[in-house]
Structure 1
């Protein structure tokens, strides 16, 4: 029997987003930039606010596979600033992805949206964020992205 990889839920990042900015078709897909304008972080032992800076940089491939790379930061309630680099992908039925692009609601269970967030901070209490691997299960809504972050044990 193959070994099982275990994870533990640690917190949720809700990143509020502004309107999509498109750089158009760059030959390998459509480049989009989605500004991150705020939000919150909530979990056991960690809570705070997503800072209104950074963005999600995406390429929508011709088959509608979306490659994502978000760079932003959050500040915990006790004053630690945590930088986030979150790479991932979103994929699903073309008609549902097109609804999402138009800002229409889609059941998140019908879209595969996974990420690998990396964190950086100089605050001793949150060094564990830099000493572990995390995976995220995410959902895109019209005005926000919700990422449930899990620590790989």
Structure 2
């Protein structure tokens, strides 16, 4: 019998983003910085707002594979602050990735965009976020990134 990995959906992070800043070609890809300007967190057990600071630091490889590392925080409706480091990759057909870079709409189902969020908080109520592993299935839109976060059981 093949072992099966199980996950449980816990919440969705919608991170609003600002204009891209590019540091240009750095020798192994193009470095981009995308500010996180706010947003929301919605789920059965956690709801809140994404803080209006932080950024997604990306490297776009020559084959258009995008490595992402976002650092930001959200505040729950009951006042807990949760720091987030979210690493991942985005990849798909080159013409669609170039449309995304230009801010044009692309069907998220056509792009592979997965992340591994890591959480930190001093809140006892949300300590379980630091005691479990999570994976995210994400979609990039012109003005936001939407990440469905799943707990690995």
Alignment of 1:1-153 (within 5 A): 1-153=1-153
The structural deviation recorded for 1:67 is 0.1
TM-score by length of 2: 1.00
1:92-125 Cα distance to aligned partner (Å, 9 max, x none): 0000000000000000000000000000000000
Give the RMSD, CA atoms, in angstroms: 0.3
Distance 1:101 1:74 in 2: 26
1:60-107 Cα distance to aligned partner (Å, 9 max, x none): 000000000000000000000000000000000000000000000000
The structural deviation recorded for 1:32 is 0.1
Distance 2:22 2:52 in 1: 20
The structural deviation recorded for 1:2 is 1.2
Distance 1:2 1:71 in 2: 36
TM-score by length of 1: 1.00
List gaps (5 residues or longer) in structure 1: none
User: Number of matched residues?
Assistant: 153
Instruction: Determine helix, strand or coil for the equivalent of 1:98.
Output: helix
Distance 2:13 2:112 in 1: 18
List gaps (5 residues or longer) in structure 2: none
